[in-house]
Chains A and B, each alone.
Chain A
Amino acid sequence: MKKLLHPFKMKLIWEAFVKSWVVALTAGAVCEFIFLLIMHLLALEPDKWLIAVVFGIPFVLSGLLLFGLRHYPNMKRVVTRVDETGLEERVITMLEYKENNDFVVELQRNDALKHLEKVHPKQMKLTFRKKPFILCAIVVSLTVGFMFVPYTIMGSIFAAESSVNEEEAQMIKELIEELRQKVKDTEVSDEIKEQLNEVVDELEENLSEEDSTLEKTAKISQAESEIKDIIENAVTKNKIGTALQQYESTKALGNAISDGDTDAVSEALSDMQDTLTALEGQEQGKQLNTVSSDIASALALSGVEAGDALYDALHTFGTSLTSEATEAVNGVDVDTEVSSSVSQAETEIIAALEEQASIEATAEQFGDIIDETKDELLGNESEKSEEESKSEDEKSSEEQDGEKADGEKADSEKADGEASGNEMSGGGESQGGVEGEGDDSVSSKTESIYDPTSGSVKYGEVFDAYYGEYLAALEAGEVPDDLQAIIDQYYAALNK
């Protein structure tokens, strides 16, 4: 029996071999595919030996296991398949009763062998299911194709995004460091330095990696605004100068202080001194009182509090003039004291103004540092939005070309119609033609995004254009500083 079944068994071994290794090939290809996918995501090109190992191990292992444990045809499997050639379970019954030697069993055995001898191995069809082969072909094709994809493509997508974020993070870090250094170097009072440091700390805390570029810009603008407010509060010359301008006796001094012009301050004080020393007695005292009173009123009107250098200088000046006025009324010659007071006031006021000028310059420097960072951040963003708007422009110009072609065709037809209808008038054709061309040129220049029938425009269609206009105006210096933060926050909110 074994001899008769041997050719059938060999055929089934071949079938098992093919089935096992097809599945093994699929398994190997799947492992390889997963491995290559990971390598592509990490943008790492693996060595060829590693590729071979990743494929080879699951391929060989699964092939051997499947062939040996699952598909290998044992005797029962062989006889079952042989019986399917039309032997009506003769062979398997023979196999089951092989130890039995009863008469009927012998008869059955002989009958089975007789029929088995008539069956050719070709009559036993090998059965292969289509699905494993199709799956194998798909998986292997995908894997092989994936091998030829450059490893940098997927990595570059992630790398590009991460490089942008890293760049911005670096910019922010440098900004914070520069601001801190600036605060440290600034020649302002400790109180103002503390306030400025608080603003810088708060900015550092608020800025998050997850923020978009516009959000970061908005927060930086907010901090800039706060810094400016702190500095404006420290610079009191404008308030005091404006208040002094309200009074006749101190008007010139007020102008000079507002302008920060130390020469003008000296001149104004010199004129004041000349005016005061030209008088005597009661009149001098009265004038001295008027001036000191005006100074006091102006200081009260300015809202500046004591402690401010300029305030203190003017307050001291006013106080000394008051005491000199009393003496003048009593007939004492106070010209020397007046000159001395004026001289002291001049020194103190000029010192205060110089200090405030220094603070103003510091404010400008803060502004420059912040603006530089904002420009760099917005520069990246505007490049992106320019690219996007470029691609949209290209699309829309293609559409316009299509519309233009249609428009020209329609207008030329119209022109022909007019020409045929108005043969008497000579310029009919040309007019029609010109009109047609003119209409097309208008339509090609302006993108019609306004739908007159609905009365609304989709905001997404105009955002990039509006934002581009804002950036252009910002670069041209046309956007007021105090509005910048608000506008940045506005666009950041819309872009979410």
Chain B
Amino acid sequence: MVNEKDIQFFGEKCKRVLAEIGKDMIGQQDVVECAVIAMISGGNVLLEGIPGVGKTRLVRSMGRVFDLPFSRIQFTPDLMPADVTGTNIIEKDADGRNHLKFQPGPIFSNIVLADEINRATPKTQSALLEAMQEHTVTAGCETYKLDEPFFVLATQNPIEQDGTYPLPEAQTDRFMFKLDMRFPTVTELTEIVNMTQESMDEIASVVLSGKELLAMRATAKEVLVGSDVMNYAVKLVVATHPEREGSPALTKKLIRFGASPRAGQALITAAKVRALMAGRYNVSYDDINVLAYPVLRHRIKASFEAITDKLSVNDIITMLLDELNGKKVAEPVKTDTGKKKKNK
């Protein structure tokens, strides 16, 4: 049962977490906030950005802040599934007899950084599927439970597409958010360069433990959602499906495949966390509108017409939100983070 102390604890800890991560990360506030929301919500995050924007650093900072074991898996084309999950090895016991012993892989951690996930083969990528969804690993006949909280942060490079294996929809759907890490601004880059001249060390300190994180997760679940807001979130997810009869014309024109029901679950769960982080005890339309981008951008497939019109998925999400809010649909200015900006 949530009490006032829990609510207070939640608010304080969130502020501290963001502040501490902010010591190691310059800029990227929205990405950091979304990553923390995903962590508290219990979801996984797919980070996309060009090399050097701080993807690994963010994950490592989060690992430090949450005082959770952190492991990194560098995905390469020759990486095998057993390299991820672990394997049975032959060991001699005290009697000198050989027996098989399971050697856990790097996935047996609380925070897993799956670096350049799209470089690994689909077989290896699928090794993550069970872990991400069910938080278990099956090796041989044994199923091993992963410690909670379990959190996968995968990264991918949007530039080098040669020799990569795009993540299948089944796997991308398991990520709660897809966050685009943009290139820093001039001011941010100046600050980064100055900071790293002094020290490259990560200085974020521990803010909360895994147990406390789980408690915060339970607290966030108690946040209220009005029926109108719930309907709005559901309507948004349903509106991404062109095969539905009542879907908007722009959906039929610009979207090939819509978002799965996990998108609805992710929206509401994350919106609750966001609301509580903002000091509110109810979810608002604004929470849904802001979180629509990280939740939907990897779950919607743009149609050929959208591609030829050079519309990104972020643009499509903006147009969809305008349509649902009864605003005149305008082609937005393309941005990296997906925040809405309208053409005047």
1/0 per residue, CB under 8 A from A, across B219-244: the answer is 00011111111000000000000000
Considering only residues 73-103 of chain A, those with a C-beta below 8 Å from chain B are 80, 88-90, 92-94, 96-97, 102-103
Bound CA span A80–B226, Å: 12
Q: Are A89 and B2 in contact (CB under 8 A)?
A: no
Closest to A105 in B: B224
Chain A residues with Cβ under 8 A from B223's Cβ?
Answer: 104
Chain B residues with Cβ under 8 A from A93's Cβ?
Answer: 224-226, 229, 282-283
| Inter-chain CB contacts under 8 Å: number | 50
Known contacts A90-B282, A93-B282, A104 near B224 by CB under 8 Å = yes
Min Cβ gap B227→A in Å is 6
A212 at the interface (CB under 8 A from B): no
A323 at the interface (CB under 8 A from B): no
Min Cβ gap A76→B in Å is 9
Q: Are B224 and A88 in contact (CB under 8 A)?
A: no
Partner of A89, one of B1, B4, B222, B283: B283
A164 at the interface (CB under 8 A from B): no
Q: Are B229 and A104 in contact (CB under 8 A)?
A: no
Bound CA span A80–B284, Å: 12
B280 at the interface (CB under 8 A from A): yes
Q: Are A89 and B281 in contact (CB under 8 A)?
A: no
B3 at the interface (CB under 8 A from A): yes
How many chain-B residues does the 8 Å CB contact rule pick out?
Answer: 20
Known contacts A90-B280, A111-B281, A103 near B3 by CB under 8 Å = yes
Known contacts A104-B2, A111-B280, A111-B281, A92 near B226 by CB under 8 Å = yes
Chain A residues with Cβ under 8 A from B286's Cβ?
Answer: 88
Min Cβ gap B124→A in Å is 43
Q: Are A96 and B227 in contact (CB under 8 A)?
A: yes
Bound CA span A108–B229, Å: 15
Considering only residues 1-52 of chain B, those with a C-beta below 8 Å from chain A are 1-4, 7
Bound CA span A102–B222, Å: 10
Q: Are B226 and A96 in contact (CB under 8 A)?
A: yes
Min Cβ gap A78→B in Å is 14
Q: Are B224 and A108 in contact (CB under 8 A)?
A: yes
Closest to A100 in B: B224
A107 at the interface (CB under 8 A from B): yes
B165 at the interface (CB under 8 A from A): no
Partner of A103, one of B2, B226, B229, B285: B2
Bound CA span A103–B283, Å: 16
A interface vs B, CB < 8 Å? Answer: 80, 88-90, 92-94, 96-97, 102-105, 107-108, 111-112
Shortest beta-carbon contacts, A-B, top 5: A108-B281, A93-B282, A88-B284, A93-B226, A89-B284
Given A89-B282, A96-B227, A112-B282, output 13 extra A-B contacts at Cβ < 8 Å.
A90-B280, A92-B226, A92-B228, A93-B226, A93-B283, A94-B282, A97-B224, A102-B222, A103-B2, A103-B4, A104-B223, A108-B224, A108-B281
